[in-house]
């Protein structure tokens, strides 16, 4: 064995001491970590207490317990505590949410999202002053945050501080992606309209009606601007487009916090509200998805069943499977609230807008039957009897409904249409005249009156009524089609062609109008044009024997 020199012994001793020191550090760190994991963490005195969740649904209970546990495990993490605040806000616990957000903002005072979360909570609580202050703080922390800029701009607009409103809308427009461009530009158009700067309104709103053809408010602002600048033709064109189209309001901008709150929510109230907004702004299928989540949260809420039923009816009314579910949802709604048939009345009112199977009509009739003794049910029972071809019962129900609601011009219109269908033309004219007398602005009753008068050979009075329809409703296609057929039967082919073409500008998908136009063109010896119109009629309605027969006669 080799003997170590003094220097080697000293080096060996130093290495040993270094190893021992390193081991001591490792052991100390391990002991500290072990103690930290074993000892309870200290949460702030203002940390929100977990509420009593005994009556909560399992999903909500699991969410809040899990979020609370994670925030208590990491009380120094703004993200964990802030996430707990979101879970509370999403599920209608505003006090607990406020406490969590305050702690998160205290932990990370430079993070904009906790100021914005607090602003959102104050908005839901109706505290506009505090919301305004928190939105300003959000913008100071993140100047280009579009959702806060738009809300702050709206607040300034409401305060009639137009300069600040315009400034913040402009900032949002510069910072926004395509998803918020509509709201920023529309906000600038509103400010310009308030200042009566109509050229600026045209500048801002003009592109919006092109990019967002189904959003009504920009059309309305632009129409007002054209009227105010003497551009009557353009104003009339927009007014006609507004009357003819189906529109939504300006939707809210994209907002990540809003989406997170919906995702975290087990509150049937919040989810049903969100479903309604989605449907209102043109996303009914997404609305149905959210409504089904609301139903999972609270299956005993009759309003949710009613929403699903009416949304399916409105947007999928020609789908038998959707109607089957709609009727089931409506039945459950009535079971939960048997003393409130209002949802049944609204459903029945819209039920016949699209054709329904006899089985579906019979199921609706069964839902109405328990309410047959109520005076306000008679009209709806009449609708069902009318649909089933039971004219006698329908007339009886309608007349009974008039006793309960003698000023309802719509019932007179229904009686007129039913009387016309069964060949009681004098009665039909009398009912239509009563409806028009009660509501001169009702173009439906007036159009029916014009058609009935023409059937009786009273063309002068019939044309007078139909021209009044067009004056009241310039885009009305059926009135023009009716006049077209009247001219056709009177052998006034040029006038017939004119009216059919006018009507088809507004409703190009009417097969009868194409057939009428084809017939008039054939009488003018315009064979190629006539063949084209008849083929279009058959494309729209393949089983159209009159069009097929005329097409064959023309050799088409």
For 55-95, write each residue's pLDDT tens digit: 999 999 999 999 999 999 999 999 999 999 999 999 999 99
Beta bridge partners of residue 215, listed in sequence order: 248
**Among residues 517, 485, 491, 489, which one has the least CA distance to residue 504?**
517
- How far does the chain reach from its first CA to its final CA, in angstroms? 119
Q: What is the DSSP letter of 3?
A: P
Alpha-carbon dihedral angle through residues 186, 192, 193, 196, given to the nearest 10 degrees: -170
Task: Report how far residue 196's alpha carbon sits from residue 333's, in angstroms, rounded to the nearest whole number.
Answer: 49
Q: What is the DSSP letter of 375?
A: G
**Among residues 121, 198, 116, 128, which one has the least CA distance to residue 158?**
128
Q: How far is CA 234 from the centre of its chain?
A: 28
Domains of the chain with CATH codes: 61-142 (1.25.40.10)
Q: What is the pTM of this model?
A: 0.83
For 98-127, write each residue's pLDDT tens digit: 999 999 999 999 999 999 999 999 999 999
- Grouped pLDDT means (10 residues each) for the chain, 556 residues: 49 50 46 43 91 94 97 96 98 97 97 98 96 98 95 97 97 79 95 97 95 94 96 89 84 94 96 96 96 96 98 96 98 97 97 95 97 95 96 96 94 96 94 96 95 92 95 91 94 96 94 96 95 96 95 90
**For residue 526, what are its two tokens?**
């315009």
3-state SS, residue 422: coil
Q: Are 168 and 156 in contact (CB under 8 A)?
A: yes
């Amino acid at each position: 064995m080799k003997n170590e020199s003094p220097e080697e012994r000293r080096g060996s001793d130093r290495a040993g001491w270094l190893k021992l020191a390193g081991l001591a550090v490792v052991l100390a760190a391990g002991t500290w970590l072990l103690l930290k994991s074993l000892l309870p963490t200290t949460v702030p005195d203002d940390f929100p207490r977990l509420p009593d969740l005994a009556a909560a649904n399992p999903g909500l209970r699991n969410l809040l317990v899990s979020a609370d546990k994670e925030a208590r495990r990491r009380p120094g993490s703004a993200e964990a505590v802030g996430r707990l605040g979101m879970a509370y806000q999403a599920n209608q616990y505003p006090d607990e949410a406020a406490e969590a957000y305050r702690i998160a903002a205290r932990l990370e005072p430079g993070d904009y999202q906790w100021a914005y979360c607090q602003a959102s909570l104050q908005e839901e609580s109706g505290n506009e002053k505090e919301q305004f202050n928190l939105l300003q703080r959000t913008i100071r922390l993140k100047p280009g945050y579009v959702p806060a800029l738009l809300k702050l701009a709206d607040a300034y607009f409401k305060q009639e501080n137009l300069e600040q409103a315009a400034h913040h809308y402009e900032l949002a427009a510069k910072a926004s992606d395509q998803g918020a461009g509509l709201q920023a530009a529309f906000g600038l158009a509103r400010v310009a309209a308030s200042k009566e700067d109509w050229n600026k309104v045209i500048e801002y709103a003009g592109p919006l009606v092109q990019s967002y053809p189904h959003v009504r408010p920009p059309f309305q602002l632009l129409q007002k601007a054209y009227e105010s600048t003497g551009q009557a033709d353009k104003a009339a064109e927009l007014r006609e487009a507004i009357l003819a189209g189906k529109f939504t309001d300006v939707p809210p901008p994209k907002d990540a916090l809003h989406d997170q709150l919906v995702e975290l929510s087990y509150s049937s109230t919040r989810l049903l509200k969100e479903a309604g907004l989605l449907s209102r702004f043109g996303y009914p299928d997404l609305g149905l998805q959210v409504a089904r989540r609301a139903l999972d949260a609270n299956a005993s809420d009759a309003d949710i069943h009613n929403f699903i039923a009416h949304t399916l009816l409105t947007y999928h009314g020609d789908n038998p499977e959707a109607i089957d579910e709609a009727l089931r949802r409506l039945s459950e709604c009535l079971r939960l609230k048997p003393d409130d048939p209002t949802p049944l009345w609204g459903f029945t009112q819209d039920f016949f807008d699209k054709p329904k199977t006899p089985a579906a009509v019979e199921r609706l009739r069964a839902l109405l039957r328990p309410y047959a003794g109520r005076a306000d049910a008679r009209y709806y029972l009449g609708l069902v009897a009318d649909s089933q071809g039971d004219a006698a019962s329908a007339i009886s129900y309608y007349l009974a409904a008039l006793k309960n609601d003698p000023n309802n011009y719509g019932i007179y219109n229904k009686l007129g249409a039913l009387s016309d269908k069964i060949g009681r033309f004098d009665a039909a004219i009398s009912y239509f005249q009563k409806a028009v007398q009660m509501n001169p602005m009702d173009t439906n009753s007036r159009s029916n009156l014009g058609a009935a008068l023409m059937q009786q050979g009273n063309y002068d009075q019939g044309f007078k009524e139909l021209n009044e329809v067009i004056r009241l409703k310039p885009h009305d296609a059926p009135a023009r089609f009716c006049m077209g057929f009247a001219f056709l039967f009177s052998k006034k082919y040029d006038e017939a062609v004119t009216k059919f073409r006018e009507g088809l500008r507004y409703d190009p998908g009417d097969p009868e109008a194409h057939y009428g136009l084809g017939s008039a063109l054939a009488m003018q010896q315009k064979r190629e044009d006539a063949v084209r119109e008849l083929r279009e009629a058959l494309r729209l309605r393949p089983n159209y024997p009159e069009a097929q027969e005329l097409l064959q006669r023309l050799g088409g």
